[in-house]
């Protein structure tokens, strides 16, 4: 009986510790700005590896995501953290001596902080362009669920809500922010 009670107590302490760590990480992340091409908080593009990210965010849910970065021989591995609105992508450079390196971070709801300029989820395209000027690229793709509408700047991309009416594209709102580092770096 004592062993069972001891086990239950240790389990509860473990759960409380993990919950405290998650709350601290969420608080830390929500107080940091997204830095294009660099990262956010302790999540540093091209420097943080899977072990670093798990120490900071905990274990993420691995998503089946098979693909490669164009013109590179690296595989993409993706983990999601839906409770904090973050997805991370690593590239494994197919080198037994390399570790999985953080290459991309995606911010979705409920993440509520943004860039130094104040661009965050819900900001309109008009506001993004007022802050950052003309994008270096923009693209629209027809997907099963509607239009994929995004604009990019150096190290950052803003994805907008599905909007098929070109006359309204400046008023569509950011639904996802994606930052990436240089793919060729490890």
Indicate the class that CATH gives domain 32-180: mainly beta
Q: What is the pLDDT of residues 24-78, one digit of tens each?
A: 454 566 568 999 999 999 999 988 988 899 999 999 998 866 555 454 555 678 8
CB-side exposure of 15: number of CA atoms within 13 Å?
A: 6
Query: Per-domain residue ranges for the chain?
Result: 32-180
Where does residue 184 rank: exposed (0-12), middle (13-18), buried (19+ CB within 10 A)?
Answer: exposed
Alpha-carbon span 31 to 25, nearest angstrom = 10
pLDDT > 90: percent of the chain: 39
Q: Which residues of 114-171 form beta strands (DSSP E)?
A: 137-143, 146-153, 156-160
In Å, how far are 42, 74, 104, 180 from 49, measured between CA atoms? 11, 14, 12, 14
Q: What is the pLDDT of residues 97-106, one digit of tens each?
A: 455 788 899 9
Q: Residues near 7 by Cβ (< 8 Å), separated by ≥ 6?
A: none
3 state DSSP class of 33: coil
**Total-model pTM:** 0.76
The residue ranking higher by pLDDT, 6 or 76, is 76
Residue 77 pLDDT: 80
At 183, is the pLDDT very low, low, confident or very high (cuts 50, 70, 90)? Answer: very low
At 90, is the pLDDT very low, low, confident or very high (cuts 50, 70, 90)? Answer: confident
Alpha-carbon span 174 to 114, nearest angstrom = 11
Of the candidates 68, 86, 90, 59, the one whose C-alpha atom is nearest the C-alpha of residue 77 is: 90
CB-side exposure of 87: number of CA atoms within 13 Å?
A: 16
Of the candidates 110, 143, 119, 104, the one whose C-alpha atom is nearest the C-alpha of residue 29 is: 110
Segment 122-148 mean pLDDT: 84
Q: Is the predicted pLDDT of residue 153 greater than 50, yes or no?
A: yes
């Amino acid at each position: 009986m004592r062993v069972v009670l001891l086990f239950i107590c240790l389990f509860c302490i473990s759960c409380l510790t993990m919950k405290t760590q998650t709350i601290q990480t969420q608080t830390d992340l929500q107080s940091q700005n997204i830095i294009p091409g660099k990262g956010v908080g302790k999540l540093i593009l091209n420097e943080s590896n899977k072990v670093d990210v798990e120490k900071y965010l905990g274990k993420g849910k691995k998503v089946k995501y098979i693909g490669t970065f164009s013109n590179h021989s690296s595989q993409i591995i993706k983990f999601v953290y839906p409770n904090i609105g973050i997805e991370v992508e690593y590239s494994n450079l197919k080198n037994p001596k390399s570790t999985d390196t953080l290459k991309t971070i995606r911010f979705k709801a409920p993440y509520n902080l943004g860039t130094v300029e104040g661009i965050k989820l819900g900001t309109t395209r008009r506001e993004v362009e007022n802050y950052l000027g003309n994008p270096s690229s923009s693209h629209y793709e027809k997907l099963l669920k509607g239009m994929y509408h995004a604009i990019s700047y150096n190290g950052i991309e803003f994805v907008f809500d599905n909007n098929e009416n070109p006359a309204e594209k400046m008023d569509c709102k950011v639904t996802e922010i994606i930052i990436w580092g240089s793919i060729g770096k490890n």
